[in-house]
Amino acid sequence: MMKSTLITASLVVFSLGVYAQAKKQPISQPLVSHIFTADPSAHVFEGKIYIYPSHDIETGVSQNGDGDHFDMRDIHVLSMDKIGEKVTDHGIAIDKKDIPWAGRQLWAPDAAYKNGTYYLYFPLKDKNDVFKIGVATSKKPYGPFKAEKEPIKGSFSIDPAVFKDSDGSFYLYFGGIWGGQLQRWATGSYNPDGKLKTPNEVAFSPKVAKLSADMKSFTEEPKDVQILDENGKVLLESDNTKRFFEGAWMHKYKGKYYLSYSTGDTHFVSYATSDNPYGPFTYKGVVLNPVEGWTTHHSIVEIKGKWYLFYHDVQLSGKTHLRNIKVTELKYNPDGTIQTITAYR
Ligand code: FUB
């Protein structure tokens, strides 16, 4: 009896030891822990690093495939002087209650600067529960931002990412399938019964539209940003480890355009490159392997000659909808490919 208890006890201790060794440690720690944050869009403004994240909160909405549990109501802007230094929370930059057309779910924002004004772009469901993209302005990078009375005309779906090209043109990339509703716009107008693609169909693409001089409207109908595989064939829905799902981001490195995005249900941040901001883009590989949590959403930014990946996981809460943002260095190979990051080791 004694002996078997001892054997059991040592087996437990041994297993725990093996588990402790096997449990990987995160490569980065949450940038803030006093609030939950996600979907970090980072920029350098006025010599500081500004981060425009979603502000995750618990509102008791239960989890479903449409992401209703991501029930965010305001946006805080964060900043830091340098990577690794203290992070300042500038408080509420915009609140859903001050957005005239607001319904629910204030999702992943991004921001841009032009001619003395900061522009905050945000996805939000209108009063008919349809995601649109709004814009708000401020004279300061951290707000408070004042929303326009209506969403951007011709906008739809989620995850706006604004990109300033070397010639000074601004483009808005956006879109997301499933709860992001992109499938409901497949015919060019809203259809609440719009279906997802079947495996052999061409996958949904992110959208892009050039912004007007005042940064508050599109100068053109949003266009599909095609992503091709290594053999020049357009990605299919069955290529779901490579195809676009949500969370597009654009950056330029050594003259090439890099479109990176989440593959959603397969949980990668992947990327594709092109010589043109409209594409077509060619799939190149994985930026970030799956993180803890369902969603993965990122931004890539150059800060003082080094490149960084801002991303999130659920280290603090263990819950899908209560995420925390992080940052780690991103490196390129001499041929311009990105070295894949694994967030745990
Ligand atoms: O934060 C809400 C949604 O989750 C974002 O819009 C998606 O990109 C995903 O991260």
Q: Two tokens at 128?
A: 């008919």
Q: What is the pLDDT at residue 244?
A: 98
Please indicate, yes or no, if residue 58 is contained in any of the structural domains. Answer: yes
Q: Is 193 a catalytic residue?
A: no
CB of 107 within 6 A of ligand 1: the answer is yes
What is the rounded CA–CA span in Å between residue 205 and residue 222? 11
Gyration radius (Cα) of the chain, Å: 21
User: For a substitution probing ligand 1, which of 35, 37, 54, 321 has the most ligand atoms within 8 Å of its CB?
Assistant: 54
Please indicate, yes or no, if residue 246 is contained in any of the structural domains. Answer: yes
pTM (2 d.p.): 0.94
Please indicate, yes or no, if residue 340 is contained in any of the structural domains. Answer: no
In ligand 1, which atom is closest to the CA atom of 296? 10
Q: What is the pLDDT at residue 23?
A: 74
Burial of 149 (0-12, 13-18, 19+ CB in 10 A): exposed
Question: Where residue 104 sits, what CATH number does that domain have?
Answer: 2.115.10.20
Q: What is the tally of structural domains in the chain?
A: 1
Closest C-alpha to 279, from 336, 223, 210: 223
Longest dimension (CA), the chain: 82
* 249 phi, psi to nearest 5 deg: -145, 145
Domain hosting residue 157, numbered range: 5-330
Q: What is the pLDDT at residue 19?
A: 44
Q: Which of 56, 159, 246, 313 is catalytic?
A: 246
CB 308 within 8 A of CB 83: yes
What is the CA(20)–ligand 1 centre distance, in A?
A: 31
Please indicate, yes or no, if residue 336 is contained in any of the structural domains. Answer: no
209-245, pLDDT tens digit by residue? 999 999 999 999 999 999 999 999 999 999 999 999 9
Question: Three-state SS for 70?
Answer: coil
- Which residues of the chain carry a pLDDT beneath 50? 1-20
Peptide bond into 206 cis (omega under 30): no
Please indicate, yes or no, if residue 343 is contained in any of the structural domains. Answer: no
Q: Two tokens at 237?
A: 């829905």
Q: Is 150 a catalytic residue?
A: no
In ligand 1, which atom is closest to the CA atom of 56? 1
Please indicate, yes or no, if residue 103 is contained in any of the structural domains. Answer: yes
38-84, pLDDT tens digit by residue? 999 999 999 999 999 999 999 999 999 999 999 999 999 999 999 99
Please indicate, yes or no, if residue 51 is contained in any of the structural domains. Answer: yes
In ligand 1, which atom is closest to the CA atom of 262? 8
What is the CA(115)–ligand 1 centre distance, in A?
A: 29
Please indicate, yes or no, if residue 298 is contained in any of the structural domains. Answer: yes
